[in-house]
Chains A and B, each alone.
Chain A
Amino acid sequence: MTAQLTSGTAACPGCIASPAEPARPIPQDVQIALSLPGIHCSACIATVERELNAHPGVEDARVNLTLKRAMIKAAPDLRAADLIPVLENAGFEAHELDPGALSATQAGKAGRDLLMRLAVAGFASMNVMLLSVSVWSGASDATRDMFHWISAAIALPAIAFSAQPFFANAWSALRVKRLNMDVPIVLAIVLALVTSLWETALSGEHAYFDAALTLTFFLLAGRYLDYRTRAAARSAAEELTALEVPRAIKLVDGAEEEVAVATLAVGDLILVRPGGRMPVDGEIVSGQSELDRSLLTGETLPVFAEAGLTISAGEVNLTGPLTIRATAVGEDTSLHRMADLVAIAESGRSRYTSLADKAAKLYAPGVHILSALSFLGWYIYSGDIRTALNIAAAVLIITCPCALGLAVPAVTTAASGRLFRKGMLIKHATALERLAEVDTVVFDKTGTLTSGTPELTNLGDHSRADLEIALALAEASSHPLSVALTKAAREAGIKPASLKGITEAPGYGTEGTWRGQQVRLGRAVWTGAEEGNQTAAWLSVGGQAPATFLFTDSLRPGAAEAVQALRDAGKDVVLISGDTQGAVQALAAKLGIDNWVAQALPQEKAARVQELSEQDRHVLMVGDGLNDTAALAAAHVSISPASALDAARVASDIVLLGNDLAPIADACDTAVKATKRIRENFRIATVYNIIAVPLAVVGLATPLIAALAMSTSSITVSLNALRLR
């Protein structure tokens, strides 16, 4: 349902009809798409639209609550980065989406197509049902024949149009000599039409035109629900994939040039500004800075970077501009090589067969055999091919998997809808069923349980004077530790000291003069302190011993609740991180996790998960970094936050849209309930079949009984699924 998003606000017919604005010369307006995981009511819609429309440059903003997304038509120079703070100030989390990827998804067309077929099938089945009711309530002779002929005139073209998806699927299965759920469906529809036409031509009593149409209608409803659930997840996943910045600054003869990452070649000089992510593997040619490697390795401590250091794609440059020379681009970068690990791990998971597939495997051959046997039996018994064919058709119609076709999609739609409202996106069709089996949860640390932003822990240990100097120095830098220090000091009501000549030495820290003394805030070596094993910054004032500011990674909101809820639900919680022993141990103690592993390499993480799987455990892996990717793919089911790297999100089954981790425990609960409902639905469908099939086989089934059995079972199954909402 995203194809029309490019047309933006021209959503209602009135807008289309209203005279277009005077043709504006190029440059054209840009489309900005924002994901808003936090919106949920009419007040949210009104606030977001008001805030956005009040922003200069925004021409029109419209919120789509169903997709939790805002589409903005804006002046060409406006960037999503300008709008995100506006919304954050209003209290809404916002992420940029790539409108190009949005329009590229062909999802909308297929959905509309299905909806049309559903509408035609619904229209035709209601009209035919009207005529059939008259036949059942006593129309006879010429009137009955006329009703049957009119029914045929409606049913044949309607089915030719509506049931095309089933014909196509059944044909593609039969061509490779396999059976799927669509083969008995098509057989039932075609056989019902053929025998009904035959009966009508001979002025017979029973015609199944209504059954053929209601069957098509219910099955299309199931298909449409299924499609809707998947399309919403797929399009959102695609947009998230498009989030990664695909541009880089290339230096050509000293001049900066913005180019697409895909066009970079080995040997190119690339400028990476502070805050930018390395687009390629390479070597630093000039500049000094610090690198954040947490997404690749899980280390929280920034690494000092200077000319000559080898860097990998995906690392984030923190303080100073760096010029790098590309040594590997595109598919050859370490970022992509990691994807190979994923491919290997993923092949193991594809062995999972969904409940629906299991049911279909039992079901399709069973139905064919039963129907063929009743045809043979009746042919031998009565010697009348017409009676035998009629009964075989009745058996096929009654056993047709209306309820089965609805049983799974209705439940998954209800469950995914419920989880989507809580900010989770189900990417994979069988993810819910697999999530329901989970008994062990493996968490990554950096970026998953922690938010990846540092937090000052020992503010109280310092004198006010030190804090005032440190604050003044920290405010001059955008290094994450400085930002954390500034935040903590400001919250404690500290005022910055007045310093002179503050300069930032990229890669080392900031320095200035305070009352004639040189003061420095930064790395251990630079301030004359001893390096510890915790994340820290040091402040040196003149010749005094440096003061240490210690930082820890702050917990992600909901992390403690999620871990607690999972433990309460009787699941084992394991923490596996690439970070140092001390940091991991501290976090494990804080959250009450007994089972933890530190300094794990990516392969070790995956191996650990595999090992757990071999012990017959069903592992849920929650992780965000590149180092988690292989583990995410190796696990039975996996979740990653929206802030995770591309590769991690692609490898995971479920994406958390918001910042909060708490929905994870809830998702497990919903998944268990959903699977229970699916099984219940199968049972309900089976009970109906057990009652109706014997009637059909002994030849007692009339079109009325078929219609009743079909409708009641489909409706019961849908209602049962709705209990999940």
Chain B
Amino acid sequence: MEVLAYLIPISLLLGGVGLVAFIYTVRSNQYDDPEGDARRILSDEWDDKPKP
């Protein structure tokens, strides 16, 4: 049962990393145009180098 002492903090930490990542994506406006972003991935433009 000592393994719980590691596993529970680890699971909380991993979940927390997910939460922080999500908050970061919300803050940086990544959900403004979900439909457009889904389509843009199919565009050939800027395939060779990122848009400046």
Contact = CB atoms under 8 A, between A and B. Distances in A.
B31 A115 contact: yes
Nearest to B25: A13
A1 B12 contact: no
Contacts of A127: 11-12, 15
| Most chain A CB inside 10 Å of its own CB: which residue of B23, B29, B32, B42 | B29
A503 to B, nearest CB: 51
Contacts of A1: 31-32
Greatest chain A CB density within 10 A among B1, B27, B33 is at B33
Nearest to A10: B29
Given A64-B36, A65-B35, A127-B12, A116 B29 contact: no
A45 B22 contact: no
Interface in A122-137: 123, 126-127, 130-131
Q: Which applies to chain A's interface (DSSP): helix, strand, loop or mixed?
A: helix
Interface string A390-411: 0000000000000000000000
B45 interface: yes
A13 B36 CA distance: 17
A173 interface: no
B45 A46 contact: yes
B23 A66 contact: no
Nearest to B39: A42
Interface in A82-141: 112, 115-116, 119-120, 123, 126-127, 130-131
B33 to A, nearest CB: 4
A66 B11 contact: no
Nearest to B9: A150
A717 to B, nearest CB: 22
Contacts of A67: 33
Given A66-B35, A67-B33, A130-B11, A12 B19 contact: no
Interface string B1-45: 100100010011001101100110011111111111001101101
B19 A45 contact: no
B42 A14 contact: no
Nearest to A421: B35
Contacts of A150: 8
B1 A63 contact: no
A41 interface: yes
A554 to B, nearest CB: 33
A633 to B, nearest CB: 33
A119 B43 contact: no
Contacts of B16: 123
A1 B23 CA distance: 15
A123 B15 contact: yes
A63 B36 contact: yes
A120 B36 contact: no
A172 B37 CA distance: 39
A7 B11 CA distance: 37
B33 A123 contact: no
Interface residues on A, range: 20 to 34
A142 to B, nearest CB: 9
Contact of B40 (A45, A143, A154): A45
Nearest to B8: A150
A131 B19 CA distance: 18
A16 interface: yes
Contact of A11 (B8, B27, B32, B35): B32
A111 B2 CA distance: 43
Contact of A119 (B26, B33, B39, B40): B26
A45 B39 contact: yes
B28 A13 contact: yes
A665 B16 CA distance: 49
Nearest to A119: B22
A102 to B, nearest CB: 12
A4 interface: yes
Contacts of B34: 66
A7 B39 CA distance: 22
B32 to A, nearest CB: 6
Interface string A30-65: 000000000001100110000000000000000111
B28 A66 contact: no
Contact of A42 (B8, B33, B40): B40
A91 to B, nearest CB: 18
Residue picked from B11, B18, B39, B42, most chain A C-beta under 10 Å: B39
B45 to A, nearest CB: 6
Contacts of A115: 26, 31
Contacts of A4: 29, 32
A130 B16 CA distance: 14
A479 B20 CA distance: 61
B43 A66 contact: no
A11 B15 contact: no
Contacts of A14: 50
30 contacts: A1-B32, A11-B28, A11-B32, A14-B50, A41-B39, A42-B40, A42-B42, A45-B36, A46-B45, A63-B36, A64-B32, A64-B33, A64-B36, A65-B36, A65-B39, A66-B33, A112-B26, A115-B26, A116-B23, A116-B26, A119-B23, A119-B26, A120-B19, A123-B16, A126-B15, A127-B11, A127-B12, A127-B15, A150-B8, A154-B12
Interface of B: 1, 4, 8, 11-12, 15-16, 18-19, 22-23, 26-36, 39-40, 42-43, 45, 50
Given A64-B32, A127-B12, 4 more contacts: A11-B30, A65-B33, A65-B39, A112-B26
